[in-house]
Chain A
Amino acid sequence: MIQVTELRKQFGKVTALDGLTFTAPEGQITGLLGPNGAGKTTCLRTIYGLLKADSGQALIDGIDASKQPLEARRNIGIFPDKFGLYERLTAREQVAYFAALHGLEKDAGQAAVQEALERLDMLAIADRKATGFSQGQRMKVALAQAIVHRPKHLILDEPSRGLDVMSTRILRDLLRELRSQGTSILFSSHVMQEVAALCDQVVVVAKGKVAAQGTTDELCQLTGESALEEAFVKIIGTDEGIAA
Protein backbone atom coordinates (compact mmCIF):
# COMPACT_ATOMS: atom_id res chain seq x y z
CA MET A 1 0.00 0.00 0.00
CA ILE A 2 1.22 3.47 -0.82
CA GLN A 3 0.16 6.07 1.69
CA VAL A 4 0.62 9.79 1.18
CA THR A 5 -0.17 12.10 4.08
CA GLU A 6 -0.22 15.89 4.14
CA LEU A 7 2.61 16.19 1.62
CA ARG A 8 3.92 19.73 1.16
CA LYS A 9 6.66 20.89 -1.16
CA GLN A 10 7.69 24.37 -2.12
CA PHE A 11 10.03 25.33 -4.97
CA GLY A 12 10.97 28.92 -4.27
CA LYS A 13 7.68 30.77 -4.40
CA VAL A 14 5.84 28.03 -6.24
CA THR A 15 3.85 25.65 -4.09
CA ALA A 16 4.00 22.31 -5.87
CA LEU A 17 2.33 20.18 -3.21
CA ASP A 18 -0.07 21.67 -0.71
CA GLY A 19 -1.15 19.07 1.81
CA LEU A 20 -1.68 16.18 -0.60
CA THR A 21 -3.26 13.12 1.04
CA PHE A 22 -4.38 9.83 -0.55
CA THR A 23 -3.73 6.09 -0.46
CA ALA A 24 -3.13 3.57 -3.23
CA PRO A 25 -4.28 0.20 -1.87
CA GLU A 26 -2.96 -3.20 -2.90
CA GLY A 27 -4.55 -4.93 -5.86
CA GLN A 28 -5.92 -1.68 -7.22
CA ILE A 29 -4.99 0.77 -9.90
CA THR A 30 -4.94 4.33 -8.67
CA GLY A 31 -4.79 7.13 -11.18
CA LEU A 32 -3.46 10.58 -10.42
CA LEU A 33 -5.34 12.85 -12.76
CA GLY A 34 -4.55 16.50 -13.05
CA PRO A 35 -3.82 19.36 -15.43
CA ASN A 36 -0.25 20.17 -16.42
CA GLY A 37 1.69 21.55 -13.47
CA ALA A 38 -0.74 20.21 -10.89
CA GLY A 39 2.03 18.49 -8.95
CA LYS A 40 1.62 14.94 -10.23
CA THR A 41 5.26 14.35 -11.06
CA THR A 42 6.45 16.14 -7.91
CA CYS A 43 4.19 13.87 -5.90
CA LEU A 44 5.51 10.70 -7.54
CA ARG A 45 9.10 11.86 -7.23
CA THR A 46 8.55 12.44 -3.53
CA ILE A 47 7.03 8.99 -3.10
CA TYR A 48 10.00 7.21 -4.58
CA GLY A 49 12.38 9.39 -2.66
CA LEU A 50 13.96 11.57 -5.32
CA LEU A 51 12.64 14.72 -3.71
CA LYS A 52 12.39 15.50 -0.04
CA ALA A 53 9.05 16.89 1.06
CA ASP A 54 9.00 20.01 3.24
CA SER A 55 6.50 18.32 5.51
CA GLY A 56 4.24 15.29 5.53
CA GLN A 57 5.26 11.82 4.51
CA ALA A 58 4.89 9.24 1.79
CA LEU A 59 5.00 5.63 2.92
CA ILE A 60 5.41 2.53 0.78
CA ASP A 61 4.27 -0.40 2.92
CA GLY A 62 5.12 1.70 5.95
CA ILE A 63 8.62 2.56 4.68
CA ASP A 64 9.56 6.18 4.06
CA ALA A 65 11.63 6.32 0.88
CA SER A 66 13.44 9.47 1.98
CA LYS A 67 14.66 7.72 5.14
CA GLN A 68 15.21 4.14 3.98
CA PRO A 69 15.59 4.50 0.22
CA LEU A 70 17.11 1.09 -0.42
CA GLU A 71 14.44 -0.86 1.47
CA ALA A 72 11.71 1.13 -0.23
CA ARG A 73 13.16 0.72 -3.73
CA ARG A 74 13.51 -3.01 -3.40
CA ASN A 75 9.74 -3.37 -3.58
CA ILE A 76 8.81 -0.78 -6.16
CA GLY A 77 9.09 -0.58 -9.89
CA ILE A 78 9.57 2.95 -11.14
CA PHE A 79 8.81 4.42 -14.50
CA PRO A 80 10.14 7.97 -14.13
CA ASP A 81 9.13 11.04 -16.09
CA LYS A 82 12.63 11.32 -17.48
CA PHE A 83 14.68 8.29 -18.31
CA GLY A 84 17.71 7.62 -20.41
CA LEU A 85 18.79 4.68 -22.44
CA TYR A 86 22.37 3.93 -23.30
CA GLU A 87 22.44 4.19 -27.05
CA ARG A 88 25.15 1.62 -27.36
CA LEU A 89 23.47 -1.10 -25.34
CA THR A 90 20.76 -3.39 -26.64
CA ALA A 91 17.29 -3.38 -25.11
CA ARG A 92 17.99 -6.74 -23.52
CA GLU A 93 21.22 -5.49 -21.94
CA GLN A 94 19.51 -2.47 -20.43
CA VAL A 95 16.77 -4.57 -18.87
CA ALA A 96 19.31 -7.16 -17.68
CA TYR A 97 21.25 -4.40 -15.94
CA PHE A 98 18.20 -3.49 -13.88
CA ALA A 99 17.52 -7.14 -13.15
CA ALA A 100 21.09 -7.52 -11.91
CA LEU A 101 20.74 -4.44 -9.70
CA HIS A 102 17.88 -6.27 -8.05
CA GLY A 103 20.01 -9.34 -7.58
CA LEU A 104 18.64 -11.31 -10.53
CA GLU A 105 21.66 -12.66 -12.32
CA LYS A 106 22.62 -15.54 -14.60
CA ASP A 107 19.71 -17.95 -15.28
CA ALA A 108 17.20 -16.24 -13.02
CA GLY A 109 18.09 -12.88 -14.51
CA GLN A 110 17.89 -14.11 -18.09
CA ALA A 111 14.52 -15.72 -17.43
CA ALA A 112 13.17 -12.55 -15.80
CA VAL A 113 14.42 -10.39 -18.67
CA GLN A 114 13.00 -12.74 -21.27
CA GLU A 115 9.64 -12.75 -19.50
CA ALA A 116 9.49 -8.95 -19.27
CA LEU A 117 10.46 -8.59 -22.94
CA GLU A 118 7.88 -11.14 -24.01
CA ARG A 119 5.20 -9.57 -21.88
CA LEU A 120 5.72 -6.24 -23.61
CA ASP A 121 5.92 -7.87 -27.01
CA MET A 122 9.36 -6.50 -27.77
CA LEU A 123 11.38 -9.60 -28.64
CA ALA A 124 11.80 -8.27 -32.17
CA ILE A 125 13.80 -5.28 -30.90
CA ALA A 126 15.38 -6.99 -27.87
CA ASP A 127 18.80 -7.44 -29.38
CA ARG A 128 19.01 -4.18 -31.26
CA LYS A 129 21.02 -1.28 -29.92
CA ALA A 130 18.90 1.57 -28.58
CA THR A 131 20.21 4.00 -31.22
CA GLY A 132 17.33 4.75 -33.52
CA PHE A 133 14.63 3.46 -31.20
CA SER A 134 11.36 5.32 -31.53
CA GLN A 135 9.84 7.07 -28.54
CA GLY A 136 7.43 4.18 -28.06
CA GLN A 137 10.20 1.60 -28.20
CA ARG A 138 12.18 3.54 -25.60
CA MET A 139 9.12 3.67 -23.38
CA LYS A 140 8.78 -0.08 -23.63
CA VAL A 141 12.38 -0.60 -22.57
CA ALA A 142 11.83 1.65 -19.55
CA LEU A 143 8.63 -0.23 -18.72
CA ALA A 144 10.44 -3.54 -18.95
CA GLN A 145 13.09 -2.13 -16.59
CA ALA A 146 10.35 -1.20 -14.12
CA ILE A 147 8.67 -4.61 -14.04
CA VAL A 148 11.60 -6.97 -14.50
CA HIS A 149 11.99 -7.67 -10.78
CA ARG A 150 8.25 -8.24 -10.23
CA PRO A 151 7.79 -5.36 -7.80
CA LYS A 152 4.98 -5.26 -5.26
CA HIS A 153 4.26 -1.67 -6.18
CA LEU A 154 4.44 0.03 -9.50
CA ILE A 155 4.74 3.79 -9.87
CA LEU A 156 4.35 5.06 -13.40
CA ASP A 157 4.64 8.66 -14.53
CA GLU A 158 2.51 9.06 -17.65
CA PRO A 159 3.24 5.58 -18.93
CA SER A 160 1.36 5.81 -22.20
CA ARG A 161 2.97 8.92 -23.71
CA GLY A 162 4.29 8.08 -27.15
CA LEU A 163 2.81 4.59 -27.30
CA ASP A 164 0.83 3.48 -30.33
CA VAL A 165 -2.61 1.89 -30.04
CA MET A 166 -1.32 -1.67 -29.89
CA SER A 167 1.29 -0.84 -27.29
CA THR A 168 -1.24 1.04 -25.18
CA ARG A 169 -3.45 -2.02 -25.20
CA ILE A 170 -0.53 -4.22 -24.18
CA LEU A 171 0.23 -1.79 -21.38
CA ARG A 172 -3.38 -1.84 -20.18
CA ASP A 173 -3.52 -5.64 -20.21
CA LEU A 174 -0.23 -5.77 -18.35
CA LEU A 175 -1.43 -3.38 -15.65
CA ARG A 176 -4.67 -5.34 -15.23
CA GLU A 177 -2.74 -8.58 -14.97
CA LEU A 178 -0.38 -7.14 -12.37
CA ARG A 179 -3.36 -5.82 -10.43
CA SER A 180 -4.89 -9.30 -10.32
CA GLN A 181 -1.61 -10.52 -8.86
CA GLY A 182 -1.97 -8.05 -6.00
CA THR A 183 0.36 -5.30 -7.19
CA SER A 184 -0.62 -1.80 -6.17
CA ILE A 185 -0.30 0.48 -9.15
CA LEU A 186 -0.13 4.22 -9.02
CA PHE A 187 0.09 6.18 -12.21
CA SER A 188 -0.23 9.75 -13.27
CA SER A 189 -1.91 10.84 -16.44
CA HIS A 190 -3.83 13.57 -18.09
CA VAL A 191 -5.48 11.30 -20.64
CA MET A 192 -9.11 10.77 -19.61
CA GLN A 193 -9.81 7.61 -21.64
CA GLU A 194 -6.83 5.89 -20.15
CA VAL A 195 -7.84 6.72 -16.60
CA ALA A 196 -11.49 5.83 -17.22
CA ALA A 197 -10.54 2.51 -18.79
CA LEU A 198 -8.09 1.41 -16.13
CA CYS A 199 -8.51 2.96 -12.73
CA ASP A 200 -10.27 1.55 -9.71
CA GLN A 201 -9.73 4.85 -8.01
CA VAL A 202 -9.14 8.28 -9.44
CA VAL A 203 -7.44 11.03 -7.47
CA VAL A 204 -7.93 14.40 -9.11
CA VAL A 205 -5.04 16.70 -8.26
CA ALA A 206 -5.08 20.45 -8.80
CA LYS A 207 -2.58 22.98 -7.50
CA GLY A 208 -0.97 20.44 -5.21
CA LYS A 209 -4.20 19.44 -3.49
CA VAL A 210 -6.63 16.59 -3.87
CA ALA A 211 -9.64 18.17 -5.56
CA ALA A 212 -11.74 15.01 -5.60
CA GLN A 213 -11.32 11.30 -5.10
CA GLY A 214 -13.33 8.18 -5.96
CA THR A 215 -14.19 5.77 -8.76
CA THR A 216 -14.96 7.14 -12.19
CA ASP A 217 -18.68 6.68 -11.54
CA GLU A 218 -18.48 8.39 -8.18
CA LEU A 219 -16.76 11.39 -9.72
CA CYS A 220 -19.42 11.57 -12.41
CA GLN A 221 -22.22 11.32 -9.84
CA LEU A 222 -20.56 13.93 -7.66
CA THR A 223 -20.63 16.44 -10.47
CA GLY A 224 -23.83 15.23 -12.17
CA GLU A 225 -21.98 14.65 -15.46
CA SER A 226 -21.97 11.51 -17.56
CA ALA A 227 -18.40 11.59 -18.85
CA LEU A 228 -15.21 11.70 -16.81
CA GLU A 229 -13.84 14.56 -18.88
CA GLU A 230 -16.78 16.81 -18.08
CA ALA A 231 -16.62 15.76 -14.44
CA PHE A 232 -12.92 16.54 -14.38
CA VAL A 233 -13.36 20.00 -15.86
CA LYS A 234 -16.12 20.70 -13.39
CA ILE A 235 -14.06 19.56 -10.42
CA ILE A 236 -11.05 21.58 -11.45
CA GLY A 237 -13.32 24.47 -12.34
CA THR A 238 -15.23 24.65 -9.08
CA ASP A 239 -12.09 24.61 -7.02
CA GLU A 240 -9.65 26.55 -9.09
CA GLY A 241 -11.54 28.56 -11.65
CA ILE A 242 -11.51 27.45 -15.28
CA ALA A 243 -8.22 29.29 -15.86
CA ALA A 244 -6.34 26.62 -13.90
Chain B
Amino acid sequence: MNRASSWQLMTTIMRRDLAVALRRRSDVINPLLFVVIVVTLFPLAVGPGPDILGRIATGVIWVAALLSSLLGSERLFRDDFLDGNLEQMVLSPAPLPLLAFGKVVVHWLLSGLPLVILAPVCALLLKLPFAAWGTLMLTLLVGTPMLSAMTAVGAALTVSLGRGGALLSLLLLPLFIPLLIFAAAAVESTLVGTSAYGQVLLLAGLMLLTLTLAPLAVAAAIRVSVN
Protein backbone atom coordinates (compact mmCIF):
# COMPACT_ATOMS: atom_id res chain seq x y z
CA MET B 1 0.00 0.00 0.00
CA ASN B 2 1.43 3.36 -0.92
CA ARG B 3 1.66 6.28 1.43
CA ALA B 4 -0.24 9.42 0.67
CA SER B 5 1.70 12.66 0.83
CA SER B 6 0.55 15.43 3.15
CA TRP B 7 -0.56 17.49 0.18
CA GLN B 8 -2.67 14.63 -1.15
CA LEU B 9 -4.28 14.18 2.24
CA MET B 10 -5.02 17.90 2.46
CA THR B 11 -6.64 18.02 -0.95
CA THR B 12 -8.57 14.84 -0.17
CA ILE B 13 -10.20 16.23 2.94
CA MET B 14 -10.74 19.64 1.35
CA ARG B 15 -12.45 18.12 -1.68
CA ARG B 16 -14.70 16.05 0.56
CA ASP B 17 -15.55 18.96 2.84
CA LEU B 18 -16.29 21.23 -0.10
CA ALA B 19 -18.51 18.59 -1.67
CA VAL B 20 -20.42 18.17 1.59
CA ALA B 21 -20.81 21.90 2.16
CA LEU B 22 -21.80 22.76 -1.39
CA ARG B 23 -24.60 20.23 -1.28
CA ARG B 24 -26.03 22.07 1.69
CA ARG B 25 -26.03 25.54 0.22
CA SER B 26 -28.17 27.27 2.82
CA ASP B 27 -25.44 26.81 5.44
CA VAL B 28 -23.03 28.65 3.20
CA ILE B 29 -25.39 31.39 2.15
CA ASN B 30 -27.01 32.17 5.52
CA PRO B 31 -24.01 33.88 7.20
CA LEU B 32 -23.38 35.95 4.08
CA LEU B 33 -27.01 36.93 3.90
CA PHE B 34 -26.76 37.99 7.55
CA VAL B 35 -23.91 40.38 6.73
CA VAL B 36 -25.78 41.84 3.78
CA ILE B 37 -28.95 42.32 5.86
CA VAL B 38 -27.09 44.08 8.69
CA VAL B 39 -25.30 46.32 6.24
CA THR B 40 -28.50 47.27 4.40
CA LEU B 41 -30.39 47.93 7.63
CA PHE B 42 -27.84 50.35 9.07
CA PRO B 43 -28.41 53.23 6.61
CA LEU B 44 -32.16 52.91 7.23
CA ALA B 45 -31.72 53.08 10.99
CA VAL B 46 -28.96 55.68 11.25
CA GLY B 47 -30.14 57.91 8.43
CA PRO B 48 -28.54 58.62 5.10
CA GLY B 49 -26.03 61.33 6.14
CA PRO B 50 -22.84 60.42 4.26
CA ASP B 51 -20.44 61.58 6.97
CA ILE B 52 -21.97 59.41 9.73
CA LEU B 53 -22.33 56.32 7.56
CA GLY B 54 -18.85 56.61 6.12
CA ARG B 55 -17.38 56.91 9.59
CA ILE B 56 -19.10 53.85 11.02
CA ALA B 57 -18.87 51.75 7.85
CA THR B 58 -15.72 49.79 8.77
CA GLY B 59 -17.00 49.05 12.22
CA VAL B 60 -20.37 47.87 10.96
CA ILE B 61 -18.88 45.62 8.30
CA TRP B 62 -16.37 44.11 10.67
CA VAL B 63 -18.82 43.56 13.52
CA ALA B 64 -21.23 41.94 11.07
CA ALA B 65 -18.40 39.70 9.84
CA LEU B 66 -17.47 38.68 13.40
CA LEU B 67 -21.05 37.88 14.37
CA SER B 68 -21.73 36.00 11.17
CA SER B 69 -18.71 33.82 11.82
CA LEU B 70 -20.10 33.00 15.26
CA LEU B 71 -23.49 32.24 13.74
CA GLY B 72 -22.62 28.89 12.20
CA SER B 73 -19.59 28.13 14.32
CA GLU B 74 -21.31 25.68 16.62
CA ARG B 75 -22.09 23.43 13.70
CA LEU B 76 -18.52 23.21 12.47
CA PHE B 77 -17.90 19.93 14.31
CA ARG B 78 -21.25 19.26 16.00
CA ASP B 79 -22.82 17.02 13.35
CA ASP B 80 -19.57 15.13 12.88
CA PHE B 81 -19.32 14.60 16.61
CA LEU B 82 -22.87 13.36 17.01
CA ASP B 83 -22.80 10.85 14.18
CA GLY B 84 -19.30 9.56 14.87
CA ASN B 85 -17.50 11.11 11.92
CA LEU B 86 -15.21 12.99 14.25
CA GLU B 87 -14.08 9.72 15.75
CA GLN B 88 -13.38 8.37 12.30
CA MET B 89 -11.43 11.50 11.54
CA VAL B 90 -9.26 10.82 14.58
CA LEU B 91 -8.82 7.25 13.38
CA SER B 92 -7.94 8.09 9.81
CA PRO B 93 -4.39 7.40 8.75
CA ALA B 94 -3.51 11.07 8.50
CA PRO B 95 -2.10 13.56 11.01
CA LEU B 96 -5.07 15.14 12.77
CA PRO B 97 -3.67 18.72 12.68
CA LEU B 98 -3.42 18.41 8.91
CA LEU B 99 -7.07 17.38 8.65
CA ALA B 100 -7.98 20.24 10.99
CA PHE B 101 -6.06 22.69 8.80
CA GLY B 102 -7.93 21.38 5.77
CA LYS B 103 -11.23 21.98 7.54
CA VAL B 104 -10.19 25.53 8.49
CA VAL B 105 -9.20 26.29 4.90
CA VAL B 106 -12.52 25.03 3.56
CA HIS B 107 -14.39 27.03 6.20
CA TRP B 108 -12.53 30.14 5.10
CA LEU B 109 -13.13 29.47 1.41
CA LEU B 110 -16.86 29.27 2.07
CA SER B 111 -17.25 32.00 4.70
CA GLY B 112 -14.25 34.35 4.63
CA LEU B 113 -13.47 34.62 0.95
CA PRO B 114 -17.05 35.45 -0.11
CA LEU B 115 -17.00 38.18 2.52
CA VAL B 116 -13.86 39.70 1.00
CA ILE B 117 -15.53 39.62 -2.41
CA LEU B 118 -18.72 41.08 -0.98
CA ALA B 119 -16.86 43.89 0.81
CA PRO B 120 -17.04 46.47 -2.02
CA VAL B 121 -20.82 46.08 -2.15
CA CYS B 122 -21.05 46.63 1.60
CA ALA B 123 -18.67 49.58 1.36
CA LEU B 124 -20.83 51.11 -1.36
CA LEU B 125 -24.02 50.63 0.67
CA LEU B 126 -22.44 52.35 3.66
CA LYS B 127 -20.81 55.10 1.61
CA LEU B 128 -17.31 54.29 2.70
CA PRO B 129 -14.98 56.67 0.77
CA PHE B 130 -13.55 54.88 -2.25
CA ALA B 131 -9.96 55.47 -1.09
CA ALA B 132 -10.48 53.06 1.84
CA TRP B 133 -12.06 50.17 -0.09
CA GLY B 134 -8.71 48.57 -0.82
CA THR B 135 -7.64 48.66 2.81
CA LEU B 136 -11.00 47.29 3.96
CA MET B 137 -10.68 44.35 1.59
CA LEU B 138 -7.09 43.80 2.63
CA THR B 139 -7.99 43.70 6.33
CA LEU B 140 -10.79 41.25 5.57
CA LEU B 141 -8.43 39.15 3.48
CA VAL B 142 -5.90 38.78 6.29
CA GLY B 143 -8.47 38.89 9.11
CA THR B 144 -11.07 36.34 8.05
CA PRO B 145 -8.65 33.35 8.03
CA MET B 146 -8.07 34.19 11.68
CA LEU B 147 -11.83 34.15 12.29
CA SER B 148 -12.09 30.71 10.70
CA ALA B 149 -9.13 29.30 12.62
CA MET B 150 -10.21 30.64 16.02
CA THR B 151 -13.80 29.59 15.45
CA ALA B 152 -12.56 26.08 14.72
CA VAL B 153 -10.59 26.00 17.99
CA GLY B 154 -13.62 27.16 19.97
CA ALA B 155 -15.97 24.77 18.19
CA ALA B 156 -13.63 21.83 18.79
CA LEU B 157 -13.33 22.71 22.47
CA THR B 158 -17.06 22.95 23.05
CA VAL B 159 -18.22 20.17 20.74
CA SER B 160 -18.74 17.58 23.44
CA LEU B 161 -20.74 19.96 25.66
CA GLY B 162 -24.43 19.62 25.05
CA ARG B 163 -25.23 23.28 24.56
CA GLY B 164 -21.91 24.92 23.94
CA GLY B 165 -23.25 27.78 21.84
CA ALA B 166 -23.24 30.54 24.44
CA LEU B 167 -19.98 29.37 25.94
CA LEU B 168 -18.41 29.31 22.52
CA SER B 169 -19.35 32.94 21.86
CA LEU B 170 -18.02 34.00 25.26
CA LEU B 171 -14.82 32.12 24.60
CA LEU B 172 -14.24 33.59 21.18
CA LEU B 173 -15.33 37.23 21.45
CA PRO B 174 -12.36 38.39 23.57
CA LEU B 175 -10.04 36.81 21.03
CA PHE B 176 -11.73 38.70 18.22
CA ILE B 177 -11.31 42.11 19.84
CA PRO B 178 -7.67 42.75 18.81
CA LEU B 179 -8.65 41.82 15.28
CA LEU B 180 -11.49 44.32 15.33
CA ILE B 181 -9.32 47.11 16.75
CA PHE B 182 -6.48 46.73 14.27
CA ALA B 183 -8.75 46.25 11.28
CA ALA B 184 -10.70 49.40 12.13
CA ALA B 185 -7.47 51.30 12.80
CA ALA B 186 -6.05 50.29 9.42
CA VAL B 187 -9.06 51.63 7.51
CA GLU B 188 -9.11 54.74 9.70
CA SER B 189 -5.48 55.54 8.85
CA THR B 190 -6.21 55.23 5.15
CA LEU B 191 -9.15 57.60 5.58
CA VAL B 192 -7.00 60.26 7.26
CA GLY B 193 -4.38 59.84 4.59
CA THR B 194 -1.62 58.01 6.45
CA SER B 195 -0.29 54.58 5.67
CA ALA B 196 -2.11 51.50 6.96
CA TYR B 197 0.96 49.40 6.36
CA GLY B 198 1.74 48.79 10.05
CA GLN B 199 -1.71 47.60 11.08
CA VAL B 200 -2.11 45.35 8.03
CA LEU B 201 1.30 43.79 8.59
CA LEU B 202 0.48 43.20 12.21
CA LEU B 203 -2.80 41.54 11.22
CA ALA B 204 -0.95 39.41 8.67
CA GLY B 205 1.52 38.37 11.36
CA LEU B 206 -1.30 37.46 13.72
CA MET B 207 -2.96 35.52 10.93
CA LEU B 208 0.16 33.44 10.27
CA LEU B 209 0.57 32.77 13.97
CA THR B 210 -3.07 31.70 14.32
CA LEU B 211 -3.00 29.51 11.23
CA THR B 212 0.13 27.78 12.48
CA LEU B 213 -1.07 27.10 16.00
CA ALA B 214 -4.82 26.66 15.51
CA PRO B 215 -4.66 23.25 13.75
CA LEU B 216 -2.62 21.87 16.63
CA ALA B 217 -5.09 23.26 19.14
CA VAL B 218 -8.06 21.94 17.16
CA ALA B 219 -6.46 18.49 16.98
CA ALA B 220 -5.79 18.44 20.71
CA ALA B 221 -9.32 19.63 21.50
CA ILE B 222 -10.87 16.99 19.23
CA ARG B 223 -8.81 14.25 20.88
CA VAL B 224 -10.08 15.37 24.27
CA SER B 225 -13.67 15.58 23.06
CA VAL B 226 -13.63 12.13 21.51
CA ASN B 227 -12.10 10.42 24.53
Contacts and interface: CB of A to CB of B under 8 A. Distances in A.
A48 B85 contact: no
A101 B80 CA distance: 17
Interface stretch (A76-84, A163-171, A215-223): A76-84
B120 to A, nearest CB: 32
A102 interface: yes
A104 B20 CA distance: 20
Given A84-B80, A103-B1, A74 B93 contact: yes
Name A's interface SS: loop
Nearest to B226: A50
A128 interface: no
Interface in B49-100: 79-80, 82-88, 90-95
B23 interface: yes
Interface string B1-28: 1111100110011001001100110000
Contacts of B94: 70, 101
Nearest to A93: B19
Nearest to B86: A84
A50 B1 contact: no
Contact of A89 (B5, B20, B87, B92): B20
A97 B16 contact: yes
Contacts, number: 84
Contacts of B91: 48-50, 73, 78, 80
Contact of B1 (A80, A89, A93, A150): A150
A115 to B, nearest CB: 14
Interface residues of B, number: 31
Contacts of A75: 1
A73 B96 CA distance: 13
Contacts of B93: 70, 73-74, 101-102
A85 interface: yes
B84 A101 contact: no
Interface in A13-68: 48-52
A88 B23 contact: yes
A100 B86 CA distance: 17
Nearest to A150: B1
Interface in B183-212: none
A86 B82 CA distance: 12
Nearest to B4: A103
Contacts of A83: 83-85, 87-88
B1 A84 contact: no
A42 B92 CA distance: 18
Given A50-B87, A50-B91, A84-B85, A89 B16 contact: yes
29 contacts: A50-B90, A50-B226, A73-B93, A74-B93, A80-B84, A80-B91, A82-B87, A84-B79, A84-B84, A84-B86, A84-B88, A85-B85, A88-B24, A89-B23, A93-B19, A97-B12, A98-B92, A100-B4, A101-B9, A101-B93, A101-B94, A102-B1, A102-B4, A102-B93, A103-B1, A103-B5, A104-B1, A105-B12, A149-B1
Interface of B: 1-5, 8-9, 12-13, 16, 19-20, 23-24, 79-80, 82-88, 90-95, 226-227
- 10 tightest CB-CB pairs across the interface, nearest first? A84-B83, A103-B4, A82-B84, A84-B85, A88-B23, A73-B93, A100-B12, A84-B84, A103-B2, A83-B84
Given A50-B87, A80-B88, A83-B87, 11 more contacts: A49-B91, A70-B93, A74-B93, A83-B84, A84-B80, A84-B82, A93-B16, A100-B8, A101-B4, A102-B1, A105-B4
